[in-house]
Structure 1
Amino acid sequence: MTSYRPDALIASDISAYLQLHQNKSLLRFITCGSVDDGKSTLIGRLLYDSKMIFEDQLASLEADSKRVGTQGGEIDFALLVDGLAAEREQGITIDVAYRFFATEKRKFIVADTPGHEQYTRNMVTGASTADLAVILIDARKGVLTQTRRHSYLCHLLGIRHIVLAVNKMDLIGYDQAAYDAIVEDYRAFAESIGITSFTPIPISGFKGDNITGSSPNTIWYTGLSLLQHLESVEIDADADAARPFRLPVQWVNRPNLDFRGFAGMIAAGTVRPGDKVRILPSGQVTEVARIVAFGGDREQAVAGESVTLTLADEVDCSRGNVIAAADAPPQVADQFQATIVWMDQAELLPGRAYWLKLGTQTVSATVQPPRHAVCVNTMAELSVKTLGLNDIGIAEVYTDRGVVFESYAQGKDLGGFILIDKATNATVAAGMLNFSLRRAQNVHWQAVEINREAHANQKHQAPRLLWFTGLSGSGKSTIANLVEKKLHAMGKHSFLLDGDNIRHGLNKDLGFTDADRIENIRRVGEVAKLMTDAGLIVLTAFISPFRAERDLVRQMLPEGEFFEIHVDTPLEVAEARDVKGLYKKARDGQIAHFTGISSPYEAPEAPEIRVDTTRESPEDAAERIVETIMGTWSPVI
């Protein structure tokens, strides 16, 4: 096999070299498996044997190998990939390392993914765009938990080409019986999770057996070498092009008043000028006028190409919308069943609002308590209330508005999503939409003739939600009660929702865990919204310890109707009052999850009204609050 060493090229050869590789097919694959199965060594060997190492890199590699001394003076190919200092010091892969190499037949992008369980989230990242997975097994250890976990994730993520590379065959004397036993053990597991076929290959990444060619040490193996298989495996590159047209709009291109185009990468299908398309989620139908790309207008564009479309009609279309084939559009829904891989140290909080990013769409979403988690060893369905780091579970996901989607099995672009923590902007989970819930399609908003404005006009008042928040014993209920008495005396229509009272009825099924507190506030927010729709001034007195849930309620209401009132009482003052004796019980360990003691309180950062109970009496605070919401008092002291 003839290969090219890039550093050996001179200027006159560069053009020929680039043209040689320009029209080759591209295979994206990952290496995965358990810790120390030899993933980095295998990739290093592929790079070395395909002559994709510069001379100075090779010299540095030889020097590093001698200095590290892990391979008895021979080249340590893993050092080509384990670029992070922490990885070299520990001898493990932490991050996902991407490498490019090419042979005469094909181009490759390979992701070396970490084997440690705590870095499973990195493995998911690498697998999300792969066409093929090389799952390595140490021939001395056989099928391990992480082997099963990575195989299951590869299957979930839609990777249909699996290579089972039984590595380190040199360390077991190239024993065929041991190899056959490992393959059969893996085959039984693979069938249990739905993997219908895989290609087993006995290899030694360190010695080079069956990497680029047949090894004399395994004369009993008659299949292709690993590289030969990677070069010849048939990837259905035309599958996306054969599907109905979809273009998630990434950007509205408006360089001047005479041009308005919609730019993005085509996720599926083929498009031509004159094609009828549907804009989702609005459902408007129009035609494609032009396909604008680098170098000029095009007569056709296919999946994987980035283009700008101009449309025949002035339709409402923006980032996050999807331009799709008019006669075969994707669905729009706001409730789904999804498979979720949790990737954060902090557990999932059911009911908390996260950002859900699906293609170019970003919406607010909540995850319900999981139906079950999956044990990767036995495939058993485990009863759980939440998901922790690296857990895989099935749960319902609700979004605050309809999103354009397809099931993940139909297409990754409109079926795969991530969840982002609103406070930290950290990606906490990756997910796959399985299907929309039937109730999401059958339940519609019923229009009524007497709307919220009519209710408010009848009462001669503007709806308000006065949200009192603060520690237990801060004086929330006392001040809220005084405010309502003043409003009632003024002839205003109001209603007070008190935290303790609500838990006697509507929320009697909820405890005081973080997840239950979140659900408590969500329900109260929905009730309060209905009451403001009726034109009432609603007062709520809840600890409501988390900013995210208070912000969620704020977003339910029209701008200017939500008043966050922070009854700001220091912990030591609230604890000294201890009217209900709760702090003493919490200090004695009789009450778990008590805000301020064993559970956090996130104080408002910019409340509309702040009450300092060490400087202001409840009566004075109530008077100021009433004057503020009536528009005659400064909102903050």
Structure 2
Amino acid sequence: MSTDILRFATAGSVDDGKSTLIGRLLFDSKSIFEDQLDAVERTSRGRGEEQTNLALLTDGLRAEREQGITIDVAYRYFATPRRTFIIADTPGHIQYTRNMVTGASTSDLAVILVDARKGLQEQSRRHAFLTTLLQVPHLVVAVNKMDLVDYSQERFEEIKQEFTAFATKLDVSDLTFIPISALHGDNVVDRSINMPWYDGSSMLHHLEHVHIASDRNLIDARFPVQYVIRPQRAADPALHDYRGYAGMISGGVFKAGDEVMHLPSGLTSRIAKILTPDGELAEAFPPMSVTMLLEDEIDISRGDMLCRPHNQPEVSQDIEAMVCWMAESRKLTPRSKLIIKHTTRTAKVVARDIRYRLDVNTLHRDEEAADLSLNEIGRVSLRATQPLFADEYKDNRLTGGFILIEEGSNTTVGAGMIVRAE
């Protein structure tokens, strides 16, 4: 039985029950320790709450519990016999857009919680837009607190129709609706007897079975070189000529014997071996980390890329991208000088132009925008000091995404998704 990893992000407004849902998943799937449960039960009793407050399992930051809001991105891990799960619990507030971008950018699936009583809120629309902007392949709308609307099928269908109508404006490839009560556990791990009219999967069953293998780009072969391994002073003379290229495969399938091209030189060679700590492989694919040996000696260094001779990324110093600005201390303006980290390549970059700022609530484009402030998203053209080996983000999230770093402080100030390389 496969035990692959599913990364998923949860998003919702303040009281939509995200933390309770995650707590319920951990609790009902037997993924928490008894001492954790004891501590939560004690805290719940101390507050005079009748039921164990499962939200306390995930709200690890005391400050956030006092304020009643979730700040930053909290990662949780749990596993079932079928799959291992990594949950990015992202905040719902508009001022934390950057956190949602961080949490969702590596996710296979996003769960958006909607309160059955309130229906679709502005935040629900924003979360849906951000998950599609970040090309998260699978979207689950969890209509929570069904117990507070008497488990009404009619109410569930209303929200489903409203969200589906809104989703037609977005690029959503896989959309699933699940009516739940995180507080009581309805349709979270087990199917609910309170909603006999719902014939779909429970939340956990859906998370265990959603098909993610085909979400990876297995067509465009991309191997950004992270590290060159040269054990020159090895005791074994056979290793004196050893030169391995280590990194994570970002696209396509590589096999021993395949012809590959080195960028930026354009020289070609063949793969002699593909090695891992567990031994030699016949083939490798994303997101495996491997070491490749080539038949020919080529001058390759960190930041270079191996690809197919007839299937190359764009090699360009000029890119257009959607950028989420994450810095509080400064704005992104034309002529801003920054560092770009794209795959394993790091270069200096200058912002040439801000084409427009995007209102993530209305999807309106402000083409007069002169800058981007904290949590704002806009289309920006950038010029790098050296060529980048880039694909469009919609084709490959690994070779189409990047971060922007402030030179002096070395802090991450932006995250970008390449729309096109020119």
Task: Calculate the TM-score normalised by the size of structure 2.
Answer: 0.93
Residue 355 (structure 2) aligns with: 371
Letter in 1 for 2:100: M
* Larger gyration radius, structure 1 or structure 2: 1
Q: Is the 8 A contact 2:11 2:127 kept in 1?
A: yes
Higher mean C-alpha displacement, 104-113 vs 336-345: 104-113
The Cα shift of 1:329 comes to 1.8
Matched, 1:380 2:347: no
CA distance in 1, matches of 2:399, 2:281: 25
Residue equivalent to 1:402: 387
Q: Is the 8 A contact 1:241 1:270 kept in 2?
A: no
Larger helix fraction of residues: 1
3-state SS of paired residue (1:369) = strand
Flag the 1:173–1:298 CA change in 2: closer, same or farther, 3 A.
closer
Letter in structure 2 aligned against 1:59: D
Is the 8 Å Cα contact of residues 419 and 430 (structure 1) preserved in structure 2? Answer: yes
- State how far apart, in whole Å, the 2-side matches of 1:239 and 1:329 are: 20
Equivalent residue for 2:400, pick from 400, 415, 424: 415
Equivalent residue in structure 1 for 2:45, among 66, 82, 90: 66
Separation (CA, whole Å) in 2 of partners of 1:419 and 1:67: 46
Structure 1 counterpart of 2:222, one-letter code: R
Aligned partner of 1:36 in structure 2 is: 15
Partner of 2:108: 131
CA contact (8 A) 1:369 1:386 kept: no
The answer to whether residue 223 in structure 2 is matched with residue 223 in structure 1 is no
Q: 1:36/1:370 Cα in 2 relative to 1: closer, same or farther (>3 Å)? A: same
Measured in 1, the distance between the counterparts of 2:285 and 2:177 equals: 35
Deviates more, 1:176-185 or 1:399-408: 176-185
Cα displacement (A) at 1:45 = 0.2
Counterpart of 2:311 in structure 1 is: 328
Residues 436-479 of structure 1 deviation map (CA, whole Å, 9 limit, x = unaligned): 22xxxxxxxxxxxxxxxxxxxxxxxxxxxxxxxxxxxxxxxxxx
Q: What pairs up with 1:271-290 in 2 under 5 angstroms? A: 271-290=254-273
Q: CA deviation at 1:238?
A: 4.4
Separation of aligned partners in 2, 1:223 and 1:299: 40
Partner of 1:161: 138
Matching of residue 309 in structure 1 with residue 292 in structure 2: yes
Q: Deviations over 1:569-595 (max 9, x none)?
A: xxxxxxxxxxxxxxxxxxxxxxxxxxx
- Mapped to 2, the partners of 1:276 and 1:170 lie a distance apart of 59
Deviations 1:23-59 (A, max 9, x none): 3232211111222211111000000000011111111
Give matches, 1:205-354, under 5 Å.
Answer: 205-235=182-212, 237-240=213-216, 242-256=218-232, 257-345=240-328, 346-354=330-338
Structure 2 segments unaligned to the other structure (5+ residues):
233-239
Alignment-mate amino acid for residue 218 of structure 1:
M
| Whole-Å separation in 2 of the counterparts to 1:344 and 1:207 | 40
Residues 315/272 of structure 1: CA separation in 2 closer, same or farther (3 Å cut): same
Indicate if the aligned counterparts of 2:221 and 2:252 stay in contact, CA closer than 8 A.
Answer: yes
Contact map agreement 1:279 1:285 (CA 8 A) in 2: yes
Q: CA deviation at 1:171?
A: 2.1
Q: Is the 8 A contact 2:122 2:361 kept in 1?
A: yes
What displacement does 1:272 show?
Answer: 2.5
Q: Which amino acid aligns with 1:394?
A: R
The question of whether the paired residues in 2 share the 8 Å contact of 1:338 and 1:395 is answered with: yes
Q: Tell me which of 335, 341, 344 is aligned to 1:360.
A: 344
Contact 1:341 1:390 in 2 (8 A): yes
Cα distance, 1:27–1:283 mapped onto 2, change above 3 Å: same
Q: Report the alpha carbon displacement of residue 177 of structure 1 after superposing the two structures with TM.
A: 2.9
Q: Secondary structure at the match of 1:198?
A: strand
Which amino acid is 1:312 matched to?
A: E
Aligned with residue 179 of structure 1, among 146, 153, 156 = 156
Distance 1:207 1:298 in 2: 47
Tell me the amino acid that sits aligned with residue 275 of structure 2.
Answer: V
The 2-side partners of 1:26 and 1:245 are apart by: 22
- Could you give the per-residue CA deviations for residues 314-362 of structure 1, whole angstroms, max 9, x where no partner exists? 2121000011122212120011211111122232122111111111011
Cα deviation, residue 275, structure 1: 1.6
Looking at structure 2, the residues matched to 313 and 84 of structure 1 have their Cα atoms a distance apart, in angstroms, of 53
C-alpha contact 2:255 2:274 (8 A) present in aligned 1: yes
* Structure 1 runs (4+) greater than 6 angstroms displaced: none
Q: Counting strand residues as a fraction of each chain, which structure ranks higher?
A: 2
Please, which runs of 5 or more residues in structure 1 have no aligned partner?
A: 1-19, 438-637
What's the CA shift for 1:271?
2.0
- Which moved further from structure 2: 260-269 or 172-181? 172-181
The AA in structure 1 aligned to 2:66 is: E
Contact in 2 for aligned 1:241/1:302 (Cα 8 Å)? no
Distance 1:134 1:57, change over 3 A: same
Where do residues 5-84 of structure 1 align in structure 2 (5 Å cutoff)?
23-69=2-48, 72-84=49-61
> 2: CA distance between counterparts of 1:125 and 1:213?
30
Q: Does the C-alpha gap of structure 1 residues 299 and 215 become closer, same or farther in structure 2, counting only changes over 3 Å?
A: closer
Distance 1:197 1:57 in 2: 35
Query: Deviation per CA, 1:225-274, whole angstroms, max 9, x where unpaired?
Result: 21122122222x14536323211111111111422111111112222232
Task: Pick 1 or 2: higher relative contact order, CA cutoff 8 A, min separation 6.
Answer: 2
1:199 aligned partner: 176
SS at match of 2:354: coil
Shift of 1:196: 5.0
Shift of 1:197: 4.5
Tell me the distance in 2 between the aligned counterparts of 1:221 and 1:243. Answer: 38
2:237 equivalent in structure 1: none
Q: Distance in 1 between matches of 2:285 and 2:56?
A: 39
In the alignment, residue 393 of structure 1 is paired with which amino acid?
Answer: G
State the distance in 2 between where 1:413 and 1:196 align: 19
Counterpart position of 1:86: 63
1:418-442 deviations in Å (ceiling 9; x for gaps): 11111222211111001122xxxxx
Identity of aligned residues (%): 48
**Corresponding position of 1:477:** none
> CA contact under 8 A between 1:249 and 1:318: conserved in structure 2?
yes
Distance 2:222 2:47 in 1: 51
Q: What TM-score does the superposition give when structure 1 sets the normalisation length?
A: 0.62
Aligned residue pairs: how many?
A: 413
User: Does residue 415 of structure 2 align to residue 430 of structure 1?
Assistant: yes
Query: Equivalent residue of 1:320, what SS?
Result: coil
Once superposed, what is the RMSD of the aligned Cα atoms? 1.8
Instruction: Sort the Cα spacing of 1:422 and 1:198 in 2 relative to 1 into closer, same or farther, 3 A.
Output: same
Are the counterparts in 2 of residues 82 and 92 from structure 1 also a CA contact under 8 Å?
no
| SS of residue in 2 equivalent to 1:192 | coil
Shift of 1:393: 1.1
Shift, 1:176, TM fit = 3.0
1:408/1:42 Cα in 2 relative to 1: closer, same or farther (>3 Å)? Answer: same
Deviation at 1:148, TM superposition (A): 1.6
CA distance in 2, matches of 1:26, 1:197: 19
Distance in 2 (CA, whole Å) between partners of 1:363 and 1:385 is 24
